[in-house]
Amino acid sequence: MISFFQMMKGRNLVNAIGIPCWLFLIWKGGLYYTIFMLISCVLALGEFYSIMEKKGAEPLRWLGMGSTVFIADYYYVQPILTTHQMLGIIIFIVIITSFLELFSGNKNPSLNIASTFAGILFVPVLLGTSIDIRQYDLLMGTNLTFALVISVWACDSAAFIFGTSFGTKKIMPSISPKKSWVGSISGLIASLLVFYFFQKQGLLGSFFEMKDAMVIGLICGVIGQLGDFTESMLKRDVGIKDSSSLLAGHGGVLDRFDSLIFAFPSAYLYIHFFTRF
């Protein structure tokens, strides 16, 4: 018989500790959740830059990390900036990055600049929207952050279970050879069911209607899975299986957040551009 201590190793240990802690921090919200997401963004950005380095790039890591702190703070305090102020910050980052690369003497300067910007856009700009959505929950009395995270988990679990058991026709075998249409559709249904449950139980507050819940469920079930494929594409391009070995049995932080990196900002766009908010 397998003992408890034998079970609580590797992937199972990460699940036993990580999942409750993540849910607790979502529940706490505020600065606690923001710091957690900031650390996650920094670690994920570091992994992204490591992937780029395997392609011969030398991204300016410290500039990317510094930008991550600024972006997380922006999403947290939600300041009212003018268009000129926003453009001014972007212009400053572009100029300072270009000048630093100019005097660095590194090879492949174009690739270095491009990878530095790509990391900032791919990780903190996209994943940082989770901080904004948690602040939105606080203001509007919703549990959207919980719903987004749980729906992505449900999507991944259903896709794995049904895809492994019944999936034969693959979606993108050249990028992710194990993922099938059966698994993908099962994941989409699971994502929609999570949002249906949240809406029926009143957990999304009075702001969202059922159609809103279903649209965001579609976002998690479709865009989230495409995010998973996107990260798989980046890893396959450099010939690696995981973004890092930080999380035993789970790969890296980028691997754990790959679906949410696209689901959160897509939900963010829907909330701020297509609802009554």
Q: What angle do helix axes 129-140 and 260-274 make, rounded to 10 degrees?
A: 50
Q: Are 223 and 184 in contact (CB under 8 A)?
A: no
Q: Are 276 and 207 in contact (CB under 8 A)?
A: yes
> 69: which 2 tokens?
């702190």
Give the start-end residues of each E strand in the chain. Answer: none
Kindly report the pTM of this predicted structure: 0.89
Each residue's pLDDT, cut to its tens digit, for the chain (277 residues) gives: 454 444 445 555 566 677 788 889 999 988 999 999 999 999 999 999 999 999 999 999 999 999 999 899 889 987 666 778 778 888 888 899 999 998 888 888 999 999 999 999 999 999 999 999 999 999 888 999 999 999 999 999 999 999 988 878 888 888 888 889 999 999 999 999 999 999 999 999 888 999 999 999 999 999 999 999 998 898 888 888 878 777 655 678 888 888 999 999 999 999 988 876 5
